[in-house]
């Protein structure tokens, strides 16, 4: 049985049924998520006209990474990962359904969005952890970079077309109809996951010693893995710099640059093209350069992208500036995910992913709320300048750090 499974894992990824189902589920869920990502901030803006309310929603969506990160990791390692993905996709479906119903009966309030946004994000985060942890179970080790690149590539394609489509839908129909697309996508995702068959060998893992002990093992595994810990700490500060941008971006282009829903969608489409390029070239770049060097110099692209954002005079120039950042972020994410999958035993991967994700997201709620408060009284481009300075400092630190030559 093991020999058959190993043979299947070493097939071309496009002939691997389990990978195709995972890939297809990512296509569907990414498309639906674009509807939600564009619709919800604009819905909050229509309801409140407040930058604080918009950035608060983004903070709420990141809170699960902090509060349930390690707990989700333990659950992913303890429970069948396929069942976990099914359960969390169903929770997301119920959350979106509740928002749609409240919209239809005209009783939706901001606090409803915050509560269901938290639930949706919690389920989505846990689903993502299980999705990340399942990849080494269904593909060979030497295929991890390629598998992550293919998943990132298709997600970026959806991110390229999705915002424009979401903006067009919002211009033509209601928020309810746009969110209904996400509802259908979540249902299709559930059926994709249902047909995935995990190899029997993947169930061979040490017996649990208790919930807290499992959490401690995940923490210890991360702290002892210096190859993974360095980029994890780096992302902690990358997320701080990013949160100063994403917390006010839609408010900035809407309120200050006068962009319409359609233009916002097209702006994110332009931005996603950078990610598309990054996902398409990462495998070739990896053949020529070490992962440490690639990861380090991606930060230099971040400096350039955010610096351009400071002086962008219109929505489409903002899109170009974001595209430079998306190019580097896509490459660095693929490199990071591959390092985490390759250097972590699979029975610990859920916990290490949960612990590292929690650590990386600690600064996000603070940055998002700070950005919202800043935007109410102070010029937003100054925030972008602060963000660029953080990226530059991180690049210098990693350039002189041994990590650059380790992997």
Written as tens digits, the pLDDT of the chain (407 aa) is: 343 343 444 557 778 888 889 888 888 888 888 888 888 888 888 888 777 787 778 778 777 777 777 777 788 878 888 888 999 999 999 999 999 999 999 888 888 999 998 999 899 888 988 888 888 888 887 778 788 878 877 777 776 666 667 777 777 777 888 888 899 999 999 999 988 887 764 444 455 567 677 777 777 888 888 888 888 889 889 988 998 888 788 888 887 888 887 888 788 878 878 888 888 888 888 888 888 899 999 999 999 999 999 988 898 999 999 999 989 998 998 888 888 888 888 777 777 877 787 777 777 778 877 887 887 788 888 999 999 999 999 999 999 988 887 76
Instruction: Please state which of the four CATH numbers 3.30.365.10, 1.20.1250.20, 1.20.140.10, 1.10.3720.10 is assigned to the domain occupying 2-194+210-406.
Output: 1.20.1250.20
**Beta carbons of 147 and 109 less than 8 angstroms apart:** no
The pTM assigned to this predicted structure is 0.68
Of the candidates 379, 246, 269, 278, which has an alpha carbon nearest to the alpha carbon of residue 315?
269
CA distance 394 to 383: 17
Of the candidates 319, 312, 328, which has an alpha carbon nearest to the alpha carbon of residue 269?
319
Q: Which residues contact 219 (CB under 8 A, 6 or more apart)?
A: 70, 351, 355
Q: Which residues contact 307 (CB under 8 A, 6 or more apart)?
A: 388
User: Which residue shows structure tokens 């976990």?
Assistant: 84
CA distance 349 to 360: 16
What pLDDT was estimated at residue 243?
Answer: 86
**Beta carbons of 264 and 315 less than 8 angstroms apart:** yes
What pLDDT was estimated at residue 3?
Answer: 37
CA distances from 219 to 35, 124, 127, 258 (A): 35, 22, 20, 46
Q: Which residues contact 286 (CB under 8 A, 6 or more apart)?
A: 145, 294, 335
Q: Compute the Cα dihedral for 149, 150, 155, 158 and give only its sign.
A: positive
**Beta carbons of 236 and 390 less than 8 angstroms apart:** no
Of the candidates 377, 369, 279, 363, which has an alpha carbon nearest to the alpha carbon of residue 328?
279
Phi and psi of 68, rounded to 5°?
A: -120, 10
Read off the DSSP letter of residue 207: P
What pLDDT was estimated at residue 347?
Answer: 77
Structure tokens at 204: 């061979």
Of the candidates 301, 30, 309, 78, which has an alpha carbon nearest to the alpha carbon of residue 182?
30
Looking at 205-321, which runs of residues are DSSP E strands? none
């Amino acid at each position: 049985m093991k020999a058959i499974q190993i043979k299947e894992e070493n097939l071309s990824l496009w002939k691997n049924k389990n990978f195709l189902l995972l890939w297809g589920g990512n296509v569907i869920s990414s498309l639906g998520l674009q509807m939600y990502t564009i619709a919800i901030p604009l819905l909050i803006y229509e309801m409140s006209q407040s930058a604080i309310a918009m950035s608060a929603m983004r903070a709420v969506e990141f809170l699960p990474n902090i509060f349930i990160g390690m707990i989700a990791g333990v659950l992913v390692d303890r429970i069948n990962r396929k069942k976990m993905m099914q359960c969390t996709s169903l929770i997301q479906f119920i959350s979106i359904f509740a928002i749609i119903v409240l919209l239809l009966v005209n009783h939706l309030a901001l606090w409803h969005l915050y509560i269901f946004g938290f639930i949706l994000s919690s389920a989505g985060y846990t689903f993502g952890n299980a999705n990340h942890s399942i990849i080494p179970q269904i593909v060979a080790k030497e295929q991890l970079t390629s598998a992550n690149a293919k998943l990132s590539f298709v997600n970026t394609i959806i991110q390229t077309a999705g915002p424009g489509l979401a903006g067009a839908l919002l211009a033509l129909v209601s928020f309810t109809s746009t969110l209904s697309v996400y509802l259908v996508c979540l249902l299709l995702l559930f059926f994709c996951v249902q047909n995935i068959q995990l190899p029997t060998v993947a169930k061979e893992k040490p017996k649990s010693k208790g919930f807290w002990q499992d959490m401690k093992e995940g923490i210890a595994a991360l702290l002892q893995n210096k190859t993974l810990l360095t980029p994890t700490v780096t992302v902690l500060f990358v997320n701080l710099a990013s949160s100063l941008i994403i917390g006010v971006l839609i408010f900035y282009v809407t309120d200050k640059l006068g962009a319409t829903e359609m233009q916002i969608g097209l702006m994110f489409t332009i931005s996603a093209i950078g990610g598309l390029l990054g996902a398409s070239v990462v495998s070739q770049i990896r053949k020529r350069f070490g992962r440490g060097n690639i990861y380090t110099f991606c930060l230099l692209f971040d400096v350039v992208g955010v610096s351009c954002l400071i002086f962008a005079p219109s929505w489409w120039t903002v899109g170009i500036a974001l595209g430079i950042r998306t190019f580097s972020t896509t490459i660095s994410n693929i490199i990071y995910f591959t390092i985490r999958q390759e250097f972590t035993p699979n029975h610990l991967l859920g916990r290490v992913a949960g612990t590292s994700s929690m650590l990386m997201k600690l600064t996000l709620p603070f940055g998002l709320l700070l950005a919202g408060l800043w935007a109410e009284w102070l010029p937003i481009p100054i925030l972008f300048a602060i963000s660029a300075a953080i990226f530059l400092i991180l690049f210098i630190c990693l350039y002189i750090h041994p990590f650059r030559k380790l992997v």
